[in-house]
Structure formats: structure tokens, C-alpha cells
Amino acid sequence: FTTFPGLPKWRKTHLTYRIVNYTLDLPREAVDSAFEKALKAWEEVTPLTFSKIYEGEADIMIFFAVREHGDFIPFDGSGNVLAHAYPPGPGLYGDVHFDDDELWREDKSGTNLFLVAAHEFGHSLGLYHSADPTALMYPVYNPHTDLTRFRLAQDDVNGIQSLYGPPPTSSPDGPAVPTESVPPEPGTPATCDPALSFDAVSSLRGEILFFKDRYFWRRSRWSLEPEFHLISTFWPSLPSGLDAAYEVNNKDTVFVFKGNHFWAIRGTEVQAGYPKDIHTLGFPPALGKIDAAVSDKEKKKTYFFVEDKYWRFDENSQSMEQGFPRKIADDFPGVGPKVDAVFQEFGFFYFFRGPLQFEFDPNAKMVTHVLKSNNWLYC
């Protein structure tokens, strides 16, 4: 494998991509899934995660174009050059252009979009070409590649991991996608680790979800044993290492936050049009992320916690309320200074900070219990 001169690479692990336009050769869903599958191939062997945005500037902007298309490297009609891409960086860098004079196909009856996309995304992540003819990053398109059992070659894996390292918990045969609870592997968070902290916690249709890294525990009223899953098992397009999550009951929707993006999920379905930018909720432009959030189903108010302050959002008017942010310590004494996660159950707010959990009575405005974070997991 080779990397670009100067070794350009992304300085963050969560990247966004945007499909700016579509080829007419394929249904849009086929194009969407080809790109999703191509990114997943790289996601599975690195700490990188990808999420799709629908407007604005993404790290990886994807275009279909013919001949001269604005980057001084015109395409050449059908055949020869199929596509090109730029190494990591701002603006044009990281972007991928596909020659729409090719016949893009899901199979091999034309040029396979998934295969070319997976190669080009390798460039967007910082890989140059490989001299290994079995590698995805070999420059010449191989129409005989077995698409049914596609796997990155070891050379590809060595190359991308030389830039970003292995996934946070790399199992020898690559991450499986289990249908039942994931047995704990070395490096995965231990359910009853007394030091366990959570990234985000939310109710969902009567269950409680505890998110951590790439995983989540699922605690339902009907089983005494919490289930442990990869986030990607249920929501492949969601990133790992979430910041916050909350359920709005009367919408049967859970909102999930990471960085300056948020997603709406209903059951296992990520809603179309997401992720959106958190500033569309009314946060000040300087705000980069939130720490925790909870929606009070009685009062129809949603609380967003950021550092030592919080905002309140009115679910009826769908707007951030005036007079915020306020200090967490002023209205939620005893839970701060800052919080990792929070959810509502039995009328109480349960705040999580590191390995501690604070049961807070919003009416009495006081902490009524201090517990271990993972006591909901029957530890």
C-alpha cells in the first residue's frame, strides 16, 4: 500500500458524507446503499464512523459528473478513467467524483458502483494506490472481483490501519454482526465494572438504553438480564461514542446526538432527512456539542445539558425557551457540575456522572438517591 505524499489523514474519527447528485443509471436507494456498504468496509477495520448529511459541506462530498467538472481534471467519456478522489482535507479534499459516462451498476453488467466507491473512499481517507493486484487500492478496476464475499485485502487493512489504527475493539475475524446479545470480548465495556460510565441514556418504548462507545445495553421490563449489542446492529448509520439521547414519548421518537449533528430514530428506523445540525434547535452558533438531554413527558419540555449550564426546549412550540442557558447547580442542585447522561423514569430524572448516578426529584428539586451508574443493569 502507499499513502499520499505528506501523509494527509483526518484528525477526527467521525466523518460526514453527502451525496450531492445521483446517476440516472441506478435507483437512488441503490446508490445510497452502495456508498453505505463501501464506507462500512473501511469502518469495520478502523475507529472511523461515517454519517450522511443532506445539506451543507460534508467531509466527503460525492458527485457524479462528465468531462470537465470544475476541478481541472476532466473525465474522458466511457471507459479509461472511472472516477477520482482527493486526499483528506478541507473543501475539495476528501471529495469523490464519479464519471457519469460510465454505466454504473449494482452487479457486473456495467461498472460496479460499490467496488469503485470503496476504492475511491480509500483515497478520501488517505490511501494512495497499491501495487498488490489483489488489493482494493490497486489502480486498475477488476471486473472479476467476487462481490458476494467482498473483503478488504490485508494490504488495504494494513494501509488504512497505518493511518488510523484498528477499530476500538478489534476481534481477529473482523466485527461480527450478531442478532442476539454480544458476548463480552476483551476491550468491550464490562457491564458490572464499578467504574463504568455511560455516553448517553434514553428510554425507548418502555425500555431503557445505555450507550457506551460502539455498544449499548438494552434493559426491558420483561427480562432480568440486560441485552448487550453493537449500536450498528440496530442502527448501522449511527456513529459510536454518542453524546446524548432522549425520547419524546408523544412522537414515539428518540433523538440521538453526536458533535453538532443529531438523528431521529423510530424503533430501528433512522428517519429520513437526518442528521440535522444541532443549531437548528436554537443553540448559539459557538456551541459544538451537548453532554446530555432528557425530555419531560408531563411538562413537554426538553432539557439540554452542556458543561455546567442547561437549555430548555418547548416541545409544543418547538423552540428554545427564553432566559436560557441557566446554571445546572441553580435548578438541579447536587447533580453537577456537569453530567454525562440523563433520562426520566417514574417521574424522577436520573443523572449520570462517571460511575455515579443521581436520582433527582424535579418537584422537590433535590437529589433523593445516589447510586452506581450501572445499577439498572442488575449489578
Partner 1 sequence: YPLNGAVREKDPSMDLLQQYLENYYDLAKDVKQFVRRRDSGPVVKKIREMQKFLGLEVTGKLDPDTLAMIRKPRCGVPDVGQ
Q: Is 326 helix (H, G, I), strand (E, B) or coil?
A: strand
| Active-site residue flag, 180 | no
Q: Which of 66, 81, 153, 367 binds partner 1 (CB under 8 A)?
A: 81
- Give me the least distance between CB of 133 and partner 1, in Å please: 5
How many residues touch partner 1 (CB under 8 A)?
Answer: 24
CB of 96 to partner 1, least distance (A): 10
- Give 111 or 344: the residue with its C-beta nearer to partner 1: 111
CA distances from 245 to 67, 210, 296 (A): 45, 9, 13
Separation of CA 169 from chain center: 16
CB 44 to partner 1: min, Å: 22
Residue 34 sits at φ, ψ, to 5 deg, of -60, -45
Dist CA 36 CA 43 (whole Å): 10
Which residue do the cell numbers 418547538 mark? 318
Residue with cell 449499548: 216
Query: Rounded to the nearest whole angstrom, what is the least distance from the CB of residue 12 to partner 1 in the complex?
Result: 23
Cell of 216: 449499548
Candidates 5, 183, 186, 323: give the one binding partner 1 (CB under 8 A). 5
Burial (Cβ within 10 Å: 0-12, 13-18, ≥19) of residue 364: exposed
Catalytic residue among 102, 120, 207, 345: 120
Cβ proximity to partner 1, 126 vs 241, nearer residue = 126
Judged by beta carbon, residue 59 or residue 199, the one nearer partner 1 is: 59
CB-based contact 293:304 (threshold 8 Å): yes
C-beta closer to partner 1: residue 39 or 116:
116
Task: Name the minimum Å distance from CB 131 to partner 1.
Answer: 5
129 vs 300, beta carbon nearer partner 1:
129
Smaller CB separation from partner 1, 83 or 182? 83
Residue 123 binds partner 1 (CB under 8 A)? yes
Helix (H, G, I), strand (E, B) or coil at 184: coil
User: Rule CB under 8 A: is residue 118 a binding residue for partner 1?
Assistant: no
Buried b (16+ CB within 10 A) or exposed e, 120-152: bbbbbbbbeebebeebbbbeeeeeeeeeeeeeb
Q: Residue from 116, 204, 270, 306 that binds partner 1 (CB under 8 A)?
A: 116
| The binder of partner 1 chosen from 45, 65, 85, 290 (CB under 8 A) | 85
Q: Is 109 in the site for partner 1 (CB under 8 A)?
A: no
77 lies in the site for partner 1, by CB under 8 A: no
50 near partner 1, judged by CB under 8 A: no
Please report whether residue 178 would count as binding partner 1 according to CB under 8 A. no
Cβ(225)–Cβ(378) under 8 Å?
yes
How many Å apart are CA 117 and CA 16, to the nearest integer? 15
- In the sheet with 341-345, reading across from the earlier edge strand, the strands are 341-345, 348-353, 356-361, 366-372
- The site string for partner 1 over 137-156 (x = CB under 8 A, - otherwise) reads --xxx---------------
**Site residues (vs partner 1, CB under 8 A):** 5, 73, 75, 79-85, 99, 102, 111, 116, 119-120, 123, 128-129, 131, 133, 139-141
Catalytic amino acids?
120
